[in-house]
């Protein structure tokens, strides 16, 4: 290993985009001691202040940063190999815990998914090569509820009368509707595991948003959303969904025929309510007041306690 004095004294500043990625991948937590109550800073693993590559940068607390620059003759040192190991293990742990919080794996979940994008979810599952042929898939397919490509078939059940707008769930009896909903929740979780969305509640600042979130990336957050009716055609309502805070706005559109139950139409997705959302980013633009993230909602639901308590990230105050 080169002596620190052999490197140029002039330090090249770590680009903001790379800083944002390092802090996000480590959940703003020291990769060595993993304490969440100590300020952190970026450290160059090889001690070359000009080697600004992702693999060479690790997030350390002030104490561990001092240790990384100190040599002990009679005790263990934070060597390059140890720092690389800590970085890889902690970033894997952060991602694992993030996915678990967003999918609520292994816990008794209160999440209640009641909106599914029946157009985008099948396309995405097949595009990413996710194995979707489980027991529920074969049951739904054998009962002509979905086809080979997991699209929901559109045949109407004329024997069922509802006081609310018809949805794709009305094409089947209530038992099959619940099986379909459970199957699509499984698909949403598989998609989250594959794409690992950015948890927007952990990076709700303009600089980080602009450096991390790009068109065709995926985001996930829980917040108060506003719903406004913009169109009604062929027994289907189109609603604008939006929220704004701290100079950031998120907006997109949802459709009543993708909702499950009347309470979704007349209680959950109307007015303003706290919802958990999984979204595909379409594009990002600036207007006179906000950085606007235009999204396509993939799945929406209510019940957020497990998410907020199990995510590895520091979520911003609402």
pTM for the structure as a whole: 0.89
Q: Does residue 49 form part of some domain?
A: yes
Q: In terms of domains, do 182 and 203 share one?
A: no
Q: In terms of domains, do 14 and 86 share one?
A: yes
Q: Does residue 252 form part of some domain?
A: yes
Name the H helices within the chain. Answer: 16-25, 62-68, 80-103, 120-127, 135-142, 174-195, 206-212, 262-263, 305-310
Tokens 């139950």 locate to 261
Q: Does residue 318 form part of some domain?
A: no
| Gap between the Cα atoms of 253 and 215, Å rounded | 17
Q: 103, 135, 158: which is the final residue of a domain?
A: 103
Looking at residue 263, what is its pLDDT? 85
Q: 131, 158, 193: which is the final residue of a domain?
A: 193
Q: In terms of domains, do 152 and 177 share one?
A: yes
Tell me the per-residue pLDDT of 76-133, one tens digit each, with 9 for 90 and over.
678 999 999 999 999 999 999 999 889 875 444 556 789 999 999 999 999 999 999 9
| Gap between the Cα atoms of 163 and 30, Å rounded | 55
| Gap between the Cα atoms of 265 and 107, Å rounded | 28
Q: Does residue 317 form part of some domain?
A: no
Give buried/exposed letters for 258-295 (b at 16+ CB in 10 A, else e).
bbbbeebbeebbeeeeebbbbbbbeebeeeeebbbbbb
Q: In terms of domains, do 84 and 125 share one?
A: no
Query: What CATH number is given to the structural domain containing 306?
Result: 2.40.50
Q: In terms of domains, do 44 and 150 share one?
A: no
Q: In terms of domains, do 260 and 168 share one?
A: no
Q: 103, 136, 168: which is the final residue of a domain?
A: 103
Looking at residue 6, what is its pLDDT? 53
H-run or E-run covering 225: strand 218-233
Q: Does residue 235 form part of some domain?
A: yes
Q: Does residue 111 form part of some domain?
A: no
| Gap between the Cα atoms of 103 and 190, Å rounded | 9
| Gap between the Cα atoms of 41 and 129, Å rounded | 38
| Gap between the Cα atoms of 19 and 179, Å rounded | 44
Q: In terms of domains, do 189 and 216 share one?
A: no
| Gap between the Cα atoms of 216 and 296, Å rounded | 10
Alpha carbon of residue 25 to chain centroid: 13
Q: In terms of domains, do 218 and 237 share one?
A: yes
Q: In terms of domains, do 216 and 270 share one?
A: yes
**Phi and psi for 250 in degrees, rounded to 5?**
-120, 130
Q: Does residue 96 form part of some domain?
A: yes
Q: In terms of domains, do 289 and 226 share one?
A: yes
Q: Does residue 108 form part of some domain?
A: no
Determine the structural domain holding residue 301 and report its residue range: 196-310
Q: In terms of domains, do 174 and 251 share one?
A: no
Q: In terms of domains, do 18 and 64 share one?
A: yes
Name the token pair of 1: 């290993």
Those residues of the chain that have pLDDT short of 50 are 1, 74, 106-108, 158
The total of structural domains in the chain comes to 3
């Amino acid at each position: 290993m080169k002596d620190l004095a052999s490197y140029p004294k002039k330090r090249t500043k770590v680009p903001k985009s790379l800083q944002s990625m390092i802090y996000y991948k480590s959940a703003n937590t020291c990769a060595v001691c993993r304490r969440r109550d100590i300020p952190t800073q970026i450290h160059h693993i090889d001690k070359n202040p000009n080697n600004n590559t992702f693999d060479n940068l690790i997030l350390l607390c002030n104490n561990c940063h001092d240790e990384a620059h100190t040599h002990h003759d009679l005790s263990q040192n934070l060597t390059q190999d140890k720092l690389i190991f800590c970085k890889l293990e902690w970033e894997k742990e952060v991602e694992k815990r993030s996915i678990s919080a967003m999918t609520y794996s292994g816990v008794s979940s209160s999440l209640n998914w009641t909106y599914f994008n029946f157009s985008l979810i099948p396309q995405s599952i097949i595009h990413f090569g996710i194995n979707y042929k489980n027991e529920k898939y074969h049951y739904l397919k054998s009962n002509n509820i979905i086809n080979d490509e997991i699209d929901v078939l559109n045949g109407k059940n004329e024997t069922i009368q509802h006081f609310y707008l018809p949805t794709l769930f009305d094409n089947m009896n209530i038992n099959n509707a619940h099986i379909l909903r459970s199957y699509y929740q499984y698909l949403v979780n598989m998609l989250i595991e594959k794409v690992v969305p950015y948890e927007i509640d952990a990076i709700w600042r303009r600089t980080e948003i602009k450096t991390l979130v790009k068109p065709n990336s995926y985001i996930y957050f829980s917040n108060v959303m506003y719903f406004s009716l913009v169109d009604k055609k062929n027994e289907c309502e189109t609603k604008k969904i939006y929220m704004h805070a701290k100079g950031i706005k998120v907006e997109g559109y949802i459709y009543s025929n993708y909702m499950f139950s009347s309470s979704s139409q007349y209680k959950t997705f109307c007015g303003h309510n706290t919802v958990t959302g999984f979204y595909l980013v379409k594009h990002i633009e600036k207007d006179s007041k906000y950085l606007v993230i235009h999204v396509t909602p993939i799945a929406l639901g209510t019940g957020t306690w497990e998410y907020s308590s199990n995510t590895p990230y520091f979520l911003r105050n609402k």
